[in-house]
Amino acid sequence: MADGYRMEQDSLGQVKVPEGALWGAQTQRAVDNFPISGIRFPRDFIGALGMIKYLACQVNRDLGLLDSAMAAGISQAAMEVTEGQWDDQFPLDIFQTGSGTSTNMNANEVIAHRAAEILSQGAAGVAARKVHPNDHVNLSQSSNDVIPSCIHIAALVSLEKDLLPALNKLRSALDSKSKAFADVLKLGRTHLQDATPMTLGQEFSGYAAMVANGIGRLGNVRWHLGELALGGTAVGTGINAHPEFAKKVIERLNDLSGLEFREAENHFEAQGARDAVVETSGALKTVAVSLYKIANDIRWLGSGPRAGFGEIKIPAVQPGSSIMPGKVNPVMAEALMMACAQVIGNDAAITFAGASGNFELNAMLPVLAHNLLQSLQILTGAAVAFEEKCVQGLEADADRCRQSIDRSLAMATALVPKLGYDNAAALAKEAFVTGKTVRQVAQDKGVMKPEELNTLLDPAKLIGNG
């Protein structure tokens, strides 16, 4: 058939099926257009690249290496790249040359072409001026120091402006729930089995502390992310760069960004290794592991609502089933868990790529950039959505929580100081066999006075001060 389908006969009659050539043609088109994955450098990276070109131009002008007219055109073009006006002119796949030279040259050429266009609209004589991508836009730079610097700049900006604020909001929301649930008594659980009583507030205080610890870990990576390879050029020696170039570029970068960057103490380390990226990814992975645990706990605590734990009520954000009416799924918890799984996977790629530096250059810079910046973006979006669409709307089912305490065999633990471990265990076993509570069995056996039994089994007195 002309539309790429054919008719076939089966036991139920004629059916329309796609021609095999239809799918093969799609695969061939992808190969013909070259992109291996279709994944491009993210906006944050292109923005950082444009910013380096802009500041480099300004500094080269001040150092007398570029005349003012040329610098004016390059500066405007570079700022347009920084602001995202020419993102469609950066088509290169991240799976390219390992130094990222292809994308650095892409930026040089876009800026040179646009600068020439700008200059052609200026004073007489300037129109004939040739803006060269290497001689002018890339002056005092190499892909080998620019691309690592872009990774650090984009990552630190994303960390400070996006992820840390998102995690602070999540920590605050969990802390608020901890306070709101401070008087809700419930069972603790270890090994997925009933344990001694606690409060739901105590449980949530642990979640808030996990996020706070993650924020602290991410704060620790600022120092190494703030170190830039700029000024090292090809192999770290600084060939063809003015001695003051990197220092002056970074000073201006700090003024514009409000962040703290500095020139690398050792340019050979800064270009031959990507340890700061690996360290940052490790901190992101740790945060992802924490958030996964929190989301999974909330998913379990809200399970049911009648045949599961049902200790908390999870906000309904969409119909939970295409077939079962009224079902509420833990959508945002599961979304966060999948985001965390992706970040953990990204860390594996970053670890491998980080170990792949050879001599004076790591030749996996694009994949390092992609995975690190994606992890920052994913965790930011997932944390914001989880806080807004799940944590804020969580409610406690205090009655359900209290019922679980009354039925728990772990309550026998409170009788150990009075009866001893073996006698308390015997009460728990009998309670299990008979279907009674530990309190009922103890009362039936008359192991102690009712007043003393009630005092020992009062859940409020068993939770401690944590």
Q: Is 321 a catalytic residue?
A: yes
Task: Specify the DSSP class assigned to residue 96.
Answer: S
Q: At what angle do helices 200-219 and 275-301 cross, to 10 degrees?
A: 170
Distance separating alpha carbons of residues 116 and 287, to the nearest angstrom: 46
Q: How many CA atoms lie within 13 A of 6 on its CB side?
A: 7
Secondary structure E strands in 355-463: 357-358, 361-362, 395-396
Q: Is 132 a catalytic residue?
A: no
Distance separating alpha carbons of residues 3 and 424, to the nearest angstrom: 77
Distance separating alpha carbons of residues 414 and 105, to the nearest angstrom: 71
Q: Show the tokens assigned to 332.
A: 């945002």
Distance separating alpha carbons of residues 225 and 276, to the nearest angstrom: 6
Distance separating alpha carbons of residues 252 and 218, to the nearest angstrom: 25
List 120, 191, 205, 281, catalytic entry: 191
Distance of CA 32 to the CA centre of its chain: 34
List 140, 321, 322, 370, catalytic entry: 321
Q: Show the tokens assigned to 330.
A: 């833990």
Is there a contact between 331 and 318 (Cβ–Cβ < 8 Å)?
yes
Q: Enumerate the active-site residues.
A: 191, 321
